[in-house]
Amino acid sequence: MAEIRECVLVDGVRTPNGRAHKEKGWLRNQRPDELLSVVYEELFKRNPEVKPDDVEAVFCGSANQTGMQNDVARFAWLASGLPVNVPTNGIGQQCPSGMAAIEHAARAIMADEGDVYIASGVEDMMNVSMGMGMDFPPRLGNYWNPAELPMGANAEKMSEVLGITREDQELVAYHSHLRAKAARDAGKYADEIVPVMGIDDEGNETLIDKDQWIREDPSLEQMAGMRPAFKPEGIVTAATSSPLTVGACAALLMSRDKADELGMSYHVRYAGGVMHGYDPTMMGLSAYEAAKKLLERKGMNASDVDVFEVHEAFSVVTLACVRNLGIAENAPFDNVNLWGGALALGHPLGQSGARLPITLNNIMKNEVPDAKFGMTMMCGGFGNGNATLWEKVG
Ligand SMILES: CC(C)(COP(=O)(O)OP(=O)(O)OC[C@H]1O[C@@H](n2cnc3c(N)ncnc32)[C@H](O)[C@@H]1OP(=O)(O)O)[C@@H](O)C(=O)NCCC(=O)NCCS
């Protein structure tokens, strides 16, 4: 029986995130398979030591595996002329599907099933809209109120049950935009974004190299005047919800031995991951439950983790998670989402879970190089949440 091996995160790239909008989206000329092809090809360009044939398997998360996203990883891989012998595996677990892709790759490496894996995620919420083709089982109604299952209804219920105010939610969104803009302007995302051809605000074809949803001048006053998005008397607005988005990402994970043999550089190793199921009408807390379980298993406290990426599905989700973990009470958070989050960057459902470890790695490398542990936390529609732990080794 082989020993459990170490898995390191060698590289990660993503497309810019575009608005999922047929007239206004910068990436409205793209398809999800094309975006995925871009990030797969880019990984090999950036890491010429790794040959496509070396890849044991490709995992890919997407929330809605239908239409252009049906077996999208296989089609993107083949459409890039990449080797047919490398298998791809689509993972469907709503928003955390990209994080599950990372976990699957890491576990396979640690179990000595292979040395080199790609974990990826993609969602094009313009071409494959959220919930397209979804059909709830009728018997679900025996246990859960179907009216409470949609994401917006979850966010409203969490706000009410947990007593999280609109003002506190708007602060989260405000700081997310400020941080995302600051990080973008300082070139901090340049390491992970691969520019792709898109269409600018004037309708010209151009190379897009930044995320579309980041607001240049976020305003608390403006947010306070926005109408509720999900119910007339609600408090969750478009500002405190992650927007409908298009984007793809891919990460290169390797056994530490193989990475050393090829002379690759790396900064973090995978230190563990957990999936946890939770109430589908309060799905945002699934990320907290997963993190709690992971910390318990590791014999750690939240205070032992230096830096977090907590998914911003909705402001209320992030706030509930950081408050429950005892990390912070209100935004801006000292050690959470230092370069902004999905409220500003956008949230292509299956992409975000794989993006968080990529961004966390860059933050641990470039922003807080003394950080020993980093954690990513991702909630998921209908209550599946994930968390992963990363430890500095570089
Ligand atoms: C909230 C939601 C319904 C809003 O959708 P929408 O009505 O199409 O609204 P948009 O996102 O296009 O935004 C509406 C307007 O508000 C503006 N807006 C958004 N955030 C803003 C902010 N922080 N400040 C000011 N204006 C803002 C937008 O720019 C847009 O105006 P524009 O078209 O002039 O640019 C949609 O984004 C949504 O469903 N989000 C949640 C997605 C989800 O559930 N994901 C999974 C999570 S688990």
Reply yes or no on whether 321 is catalytic.
no
146-187+214-242+271-392 has which fold? Peroxisomal Thiolase; Chain A, domain 1 (3.40.47)
Atom 44 (ligand 1) nearest CA? 151
CATH 3.40.47.10 spans which residues of the chain? Answer: 7-127+244-262, 146-187+214-242+271-392
Q: Between vectors from CA 293 to CA 287 and to CA 343, what angle results, nearest 5°?
A: 15
Ligand 1 pocket residue status of 79, Cβ below 6 Å: no
Reply yes or no on whether 177 is catalytic.
no
pLDDT tens, residue by residue, 100-132: 999 999 999 999 999 999 999 999 999 999 999
Query: Is CATH 3.40.50.300 the right assignment for the domain spanning 7-127+244-262?
Result: no
pLDDT tens, residue by residue, 209-223: 999 999 999 999 999
The whole-number pLDDT of residue 1 equals 56
Q: What percent of the chain has pLDDT over 90?
A: 99
- Cβ pair 374, 363 in contact under 8 A: yes
Q: How far apart are CA 124 and CA 38, in angstroms?
A: 14
Atom 36 (ligand 1) nearest CA? 243
Question: What is the three-state SS of 152-207?
Answer: HHHHHHHHHHHCCCHHHHHHHHHHHHHHHHHHHHCCCCCCCECCEEEECCCCCEEE
Q: Which own/partner contact pairs does 144-149 have at CB distance under 8 Å and 24+ positions apart?
A: 144/280, 144/281, 145/281, 148/281, 149/280, 149/281, 149/382
Q: What is the mean pLDDT of the chain?
A: 97
Phi first, then psi, for residue 379 (nearest 5°) are: -85, 165
pLDDT tens, residue by residue, 121-165: 999 999 999 999 999 999 999 999 999 999 999 999 999 999 999
294, 370, 377 from 275: Cα distances, Å: 9, 28, 10
pLDDT tens, residue by residue, 321-355: 999 999 999 999 999 999 999 999 999 999 999 99
Mutate to test the pocket of ligand 1, among 241, 282, 352 (most ligand atoms within 8 A of CB): 241
Partner residues linked to 33 by β-bridges: none
Provide the pLDDT confidence category of residue 2 given band limits of 50, 70 and 90: low
* Sign of torsion over alpha carbons 123, 243, 346, 269: negative
Q: 336: which DSSP letter?
A: B
Atom 1 (ligand 1) nearest CA? 238
The whole-number pLDDT of residue 3 equals 76
